[in-house]
Structure 1
Amino acid sequence: MPRLESPIHPDASPELKRLVNAMRETKAANPEKLSYKDLAARAHFSTASLSLAASGKRMPTWEVTWAYVSSCDLDAKENDWRQLWEAARDAEEARSAASADSDATEPNASRRPNTRRRVSVADLVREEVARQQQLVPFRTSDVDATRTALALCTTADDFRQLLNELKGSLKSDELKERARSKGRILRKSDIHAMLDGDGIPDTEPLHAFLVACEVAQGQIHEWHHTATRLKISQARVYDPPEEEPPLSRAMQSLRRLRGELNIHNLVALATLIVTIMQIVTIVQYGKP
């Protein structure tokens, strides 16, 4: 089932929003209910490029726009869509030029901090891959994007975000059933720990999750390699415990000793004490 579209970017011009809305409506009207993966196979552009083109975050190229539309609607009229696209392009260029003039005349414009924030490693890679895909079609694939995103992972949070991207709209029950059909055990608790936990997932649940998401065998190895790398990185970050006071260490030793003693040890200890006392008495008095 196709994923629900995210809201159109609020910074898009009215003309760009009109273009994006028309693109989305054309895709939704397709009787086959195409996912972006299906659309990518038809349009010969990556899913990232097509998704970005229909997001309103930036002005898509004509090639991507027409590939998107014509793959959804075989009867689409190129001239009509070209006019709609050109109107959006002109509006975006005019707004960009006005913004540049405003920045140039504003005092201390060069000192203003950059407030743009990258949400995640996955977002950063997706935007760059989409940009490269629009420049040179067929050069960058989704596999390359995933490989790059895994290479850029530095924290467990980065890794979880990529796992959530991989899961998409699949439900936990669907993942469990997919894993079971492939001879793997995947519990809901495993899925929850991987997507919402704190650490790096264990090898077996991670493997079952990747299999359920239909990740290719070659890519599964790269996921495991990244998980291992992050685990090693976390293990190296180690803060030695603070030195405990001598009295505290002594009390802990006594508690451990008390825990280790049992009735047999006590009897043996009492027997040893009695034997020592008898030996001392013999040595002192010459008799028991």
Structure 2
Amino acid sequence: MEQGPVLEALRYPLGVVKGIAGQTRLKVIVDGSQGHAGTVPMKLRRDPMVAAAELVVTLERLCKEPNKLLTYDEECGCFTEESLAGLVCTVGELLTWPSASNVIPGQVNFTVDIRAMDDKVRETIVTSFSRLVLQKCDDRLVDCVVEHKHSAPATPCDPELTTQLKRAARSTVSAMPGHTAAGETPVLMSGAGHDAMAMAKLTKIGMLFVRCRGGVSHSPEEAVMDDDVWAAGLALLNFVDQNAVAEVELEHHNAVAES
């Protein structure tokens, strides 16, 4: 299952994965001065919540419009439109202490999740954001620490397997009622992690996505269409048949050559 909304938006039941995004997880800790919400004048505050809010918006800007904040590196060529495609950044958790409605927090910490198919892009975003954290915290007279919690490189799918899966998926979808062979099978990046990242250390990998309703996954609300599941199974069968025929033809060719 895709775990995202792209295939549904394209009105296409299947997609082929070109690779699994690399991921970095950070924890940002912002320390300020705790105080009473009613007695500390605005000009005298060292409010970590306001600093954290600015950092969250900064992260969004950095990942939505990286070309406006990053300098193109001619040597690595990593800031092209293609390499930046699929860059996503998320703040999924934010905690305050002491977390009371009438208290200026003394500390705020939040998580940062940065993913991209190009590892150089991801690493540059991490470095740039870490620098901006220190800069903006210094401007607001609060203390900040950026902790690196996790990092995993991107995992590309095998180009040959991807091409074969595209062919199998297109053939299958064109035979479905209401579809034609006019459209190409979408090729997507997987922003979510998969077991295939570990399998890629042992062998070549390829992946097929099935569209899901609303891009929702890991939830009671997740849903797929029966016809899409059927199409995925048939596409996989077509893929296996293609490879089986190719293997038989190769064995026959080798046998003839040896004789």
TM-score, normalization by structure 1 = 0.22
Which structure dedicates a bigger proportion of its chain to helix? Answer: 1
> Could you tell me the TM-score, scaled by structure 2's length?
0.23
Higher relative contact order (CA 8 A, sep 6+): 2
